[in-house]
Amino acid sequence: MALKKKKNKPTRIERLHRLKKLGALFYRSLSWKNISLLLLSIALTVTEKYVGTEIPEMCDKVGKHREVAPYRRAVTEIVAMKFLEVTSHEMAHHIGYFAYASLAYNFKLKLFAMFMETDLDYHINRSGPETTGYLIRAGTYFYRLVEAVIERLIPTILQLCFTVPKLRKYGSKEVNIFLGLVSAFVLVTCLFVEFRTVYVKRRSRQSDKALAGATETFENYEATMLYCNQEKEKQKYRLREKRFYSLNKKVELITSAMKHTQKFFLLANILVFAYGKPEEDIKNGNNKRSLNSLMLYLTKLFGQLTTMGSFYYILMTSLANLDVSVEIEEQLEEFEIRNRRRTQQLIVSEGVLRFVGVGFSTSSFSVSNLNLTFTPGVTALIGQSGTGKTTITKFMVGITAPKEGTVEIDGTNILDVTPESLLSQVSIITQNIFLFNESLLENIRYARIDATDEEV
């Protein structure tokens, strides 16, 4: 029995290649409606972040007014700006939702179409019943990835771009230290998330085991009662839950440590700017108002930076769950190259089918240099389950292609003829009879959708 190779982590080049392919899929899913909604959402986010960085400075200037009318006017302007900030945030979120949902919808449609155009049998053999979950998971994670970029990454970059110029009035030297601390903040957050993800995956697997174990116990409760093994089942359940609790505790501890570390970076930046303030400003009494605005700037910025942890987590999990999309697109490119030479029309005279030097492999065995001749009305293929009968049958009708060698009908390679001319000359009756969730008439018409009622 062949041992499974340990799956290595993707290299940086492989990740960049994956991102490039995902970018191509994202581009294919775009429409003018999606583009308009995304641009509007980004414009509203720009407005929100710009207005948000202007409010602390406006609050500083309010204290300079000594008359009632200018003071009230300034307060009204601050309230109006805050209303604009909140409204822009909510509108950007809701408009973005429609854009993400529409993009995910288009993406799933294109992914399903790509499934149908490539080697679907390969994916079914690889994942079995979970194959349909590919489509659901890929669409969901594509939605989450686009949402994370628009609602976490872009706002963080904008917040940083608008805040740094405001902080320069506290000293350019301090800003350089601040940028260094921000870089360290993002790096440490990503490391925490990477470490936390390991235990989150273990916790999910343990949760599945606990659920499966409890279900198994309930389904076989007659045997438990018959052999008086109630205490044994209780002990098994207690052990599974104890493992889950232990992993959950580690996840929470890592999360708590990450949050405390993030707060430390915020306090460190406040100290950097506060202690770096010129002595003359402190003596002139300008420290109070400046410190208030500094606190507002840094609190808002680091509040936005904390979202980078969830962005990194979503990015990693999305890339892992969108692997199938990249793989399917690569298969589609191979199929398109192969189908360009399928221009001939199949003409059947004797109907003799030959396998010439065919090689293929399954999960249990490999075959190379297979030469067979199938004469109409003479040859039959029999054997035990799992010996390759279905695989060979799929080669015969062109559903899949062998890795090496050719399949010929009357001397013509079936991969040189158009699929329509091939399938018009061959037919197959599968072992498992299946009806689509349509009327009986539609099921009969499946091979010829344009067939009339009389022909049916």
Residue-wise pLDDT tens digits, 153-187: 999 899 888 888 888 777 667 788 888 888 888 88
pLDDT interval class at 410 (50, 70, 90): confident
Instruction: Tell which wins on pLDDT, 189 or 428.
Output: 189
Mean pLDDT taken over the chain: 78
> For residue 302, which of 275, 273, 272, 270 has the smallest C-alpha distance?
270
Predicted TM-score of the model (pTM): 0.66
Indicate whether 124 pLDDT > 70: no
pLDDT interval class at 389 (50, 70, 90): confident
Indicate whether 282 pLDDT > 60: no
Q: Note the pLDDT of residue 2.
A: 34
Map the chain to HEC letters.
Answer: CCCCCCCCCCCHHHHHHHHHHHHHHHHHHCCHHHHHHHHHHHHHHHHHHHHHHHHHHHHHHHCCCCCHHHHHHHHHHHHHHHHHHHHHHHHHHHHHHHHHHHHHHHHHHHHHHHHHHCCHHHHHHHHHHHHHHHHHHHHHHHHHHHHHHHHHHHHHHHHHHHHHHHHHHHCHHHHHHHHHHHHHHHHHHHHHHHHHHHHHHHHHHHHHHHHHHHHHHHHCHHHHHHCCCHHHHHHHHHHHHHHHHHHHHHHHHHHHHHHHHHHHHHHHHHHHHHHCCCHHHHHCCCHHHHHHHHHHHHHHHHHHHCHHHHHHHHHHHHHHHCHHHHHHHHHHHHHHHHHCCCCECCCCCCCCEEEEEEEEECCCCEEEEEEEEECCCCCCCCCCCCCCHHHHHHHHCCCCCCCEEEEEECCEEHHHECHHHHHCCCCCCCCCCCCCCCCHHHHHCCCCCCCCCCCC
Indicate whether 7 pLDDT > 80: no
Instruction: Tell which wins on pLDDT, 208 or 239.
Output: 239
Instruction: Tell which wins on pLDDT, 361 or 241.
Output: 241
Indicate whether 263 pLDDT > 60: yes
State what percent of residues in the chain have pLDDT above 70: 80
Indicate whether 4 pLDDT > 70: no
Range with the poorest average pLDDT among 27-36, 261-270, 299-308, 431-440? 431-440
Domains of the chain are 12-333 (1.20.1560.10), 343-444 (3.40.50.300)
pLDDT interval class at 316 (50, 70, 90): confident
Q: Note the pLDDT of residue 47.
A: 93
Residue-wise pLDDT tens digits, 37-68: 999 999 999 999 999 888 888 877 776 667 77
